Structure 1
Amino acid sequence: MAQPRENLYLKLGSLGKSKENAKNAAIDLIKEYIPPNTSAEQVFKDMNAFQMDARQTPMVSKEQKKQHKPSKKKTKPLSAKEKRSLHIYDIPKEAIRYDLFEPLHQLWLGYIKELYNQGHDPLVFRQKLLKADYHGAIFEVIKSTNPSMVGVRGIVVQETQNLFNMITNTNQLKRIPKAGTVFSLELPMCNVRLTIYGQQLLVRSAERAAKKFKPKPTIDV
């Protein structure tokens, strides 16, 4: 019959507080379970290093991880009223100069020329104009429910749902309502002057680009 294997754990318990004896006993225990050509001392060192690392790295439960996980708060966008109160879109007085925006007008002419060159069908081009961006265009008010607005001419520097903000060649900022106003727009690349009815553009510029327009009869002012 096979001899029962000596219980080395009992031997470890009887060693008291002697670190050296405990180390030797642990190495003897390791030798029982590793191949003969493997260094028991090296295995002991590796195991000891692993235990030390485990002591220094505290275990964190899933509940603790959830508690320490920073909450991602969604930033609430500013309302239109808040933007107005903070004067986010206000143009500084020193920037209300016609010559500062003339380069913007030249960029806009290049943009419209590119649209025009995509096809010379007048009907298609009119549809593109309805969706076009007018920042940089030169508008002139030819009809308005407010007689004092008639004759105002300037570069469009801002557009909202209801207004065109234009800077005139006399360095004045004019806020022209779209509703009740008819504008004249000159396109030198095709030698035409167009009539733009503000009532048809009562949409924000970004939304207008994706909007599908239905043909409607134009009501004059």
Structure 2
Amino acid sequence: MDPAPTAGQVFRAVVHTDDAGAQYEARVKGRKLQLSNVERAAPLPATPMLQAKVARAKRRAQPTGQRTKKGAPRLDMPKTMAYEDAQRVHVLWVEYVRDLLGLDDVQEAERILASPAQVQQLQNTLLKADWTGARFAIVQSTNPALVHLNGVVLLETHEMFWILPAPKKGRESVQTKLCMVPKRNTVFRVVLPIGNETASLSLDLYGNQMRYTMPARSTRKHKARKTIELG
């Protein structure tokens, strides 16, 4: 078995210079050297500012379209979908909003609507509701091309609703392209079920008050106003 190489031999093999022996004698021999472990994970940055810089660098290294503002992978929405598939999501939302608002009984709904305090509470509850699966119709917007658009909400973001427009009769199975509708300066009309399928309540929702996603909206407070101007 060959003897283990000495420190001087290792140094000269790594440096590969003519004066390696002299450098070893002057700078290495007799001293303690801290060697790093290449398999060991790098320590965390020392300050929050440096940690933020490292996080930004990691986000930039991810492929475009596969990252969010906080660096977590996002779920890509399909660009097209059949309306009959969106209808299944709408059925689940109808059951959810009935339980949320307590509108299972027509007489109970009439009692709530007759009391201004109950109506205010109903509006506050709606502002904090999850709208994924709701059927919206746009009745007013600063973008005229969006007016009269109606369909099922499939995704809600901070400033947008992804809506699948309702197709013509008989084309529910055809793949339809989703539309991105901004919340800002848009008025949405939603029909809330009451009791059985024949009774309903139509309400207008102002997108300026529906901004932010559902978890953030649940902690915000809105002041009652007689009118809300669109920008």
> Which interval holds the TM-score relative to the shorter structure?
0.5 to 0.7
Show the counterpart of 1:32. none
- Of residues 151, 174, 178, the one that matches 2:179 is 174
- Counterpart residue number, 2:159: 162
Going from structure 1 to structure 2, the CA distance change for 1:152 and 1:83 (only over 3 Å counts) comes to farther
CA distance in structure 1 between the aligned counterparts of 2:40 and 2:64, rounded to whole angstroms = 36
Residues 83 and 89 in structure 1, CA contact (< 8 A), matched pair in contact too: no
Runs (4+) of structure 1 exceeding 3 A deviation are 68-80
Aligned length, in residue pairs: 156
Partner of 2:136 in structure 1?
139
The letter for the 1-side match of 2:153 is V
Question: Is 110-119 or 159-168 further displaced after alignment?
Answer: 110-119
Matched, 1:188 2:197: no
Quick one: distance in 1 between partners of 2:140 and 2:102?
Answer: 30
**Cα separation, 2, equivalents of 1:167 and 1:79:** 31
Q: Secondary structure at the match of 1:166?
A: strand
Instruction: Compute the displacement of 1:69 (Å).
Output: 8.9
Q: Against the structure 1 CA distance between its residues 168 and 79, is the aligned structure 2 distance closer, same or farther, given a 3 Å change threshold?
A: farther
Larger RCO: Structure 1 or Structure 2 (Cα < 8 Å, ≥ 6 residues apart)?
2
Any conservation in 1 of the 2:183–2:210 contact (CA below 8 Å)?
A: yes
**Residues 104-148 of structure 1: CA distance to partner in whole angstroms, max 9, x if unpaired?**
111111111011218843221111001111000000111111111
Deviation at 1:216, TM superposition (A): 3.8
Partner of 1:117: 102
- Preserved CA contact (<8 Å) 2:152 2:165: yes
Structure 1 unmatched runs, 5+: 1-67
**AA matched with 2:88:** P
Correspondence 1:96 to 2:81: yes
CA distance in 2, matches of 1:85, 1:103: 28
Tell me whether 102-111 or 68-77 shows the greater mean CA deviation. 68-77
Identity %: 29
In the other structure, the counterpart of 1:85 is 65
Q: Equivalents in 2 of 1:220, 1:176: separation in Å?
A: 18
Alpha-carbon separation, structure 2, partners of 1:137 and 1:164: 11
Distance 2:166 2:143 in 1: 21
Distance 2:178 2:217 in 1: 24
Structure 2 CA distance, aligned partners of 1:216 and 1:137?
25
Change (3 A) 1:179 1:79: farther
**Secondary structure of the equivalent of 2:130?**
coil
Larger relative helix fraction: 1
Matches within 5 A, 1:1-221: 85-86=65-66, 88-93=74-79, 96-117=81-102, 120=112, 121-170=118-167, 171-189=176-194, 191-221=200-230
Superposed CA RMSD in Å reads 3.4
For 1:203 and 1:72, how far apart are their aligned partners in 2? 36
Per-residue CA shift, 1:38-62, capped at 9, x if unaligned? xxxxxxxxxxxxxxxxxxxxxxxxx
Residues in 2 aligned to 1:153 and 1:205: alpha-carbon distance in whole angstroms: 21
Please tell me whether the aligned partners of residues 115 and 125 of structure 1 are also in contact (alpha carbons under 8 angstroms).
no
The CA deviation at 1:102 is 1.3
> TM-score, normalization: structure 2?
0.57
Shifted more, 129-138 versus 96-105: the winner is: 96-105
Measured in 2, the distance between the counterparts of 1:72 and 1:97 equals: 49
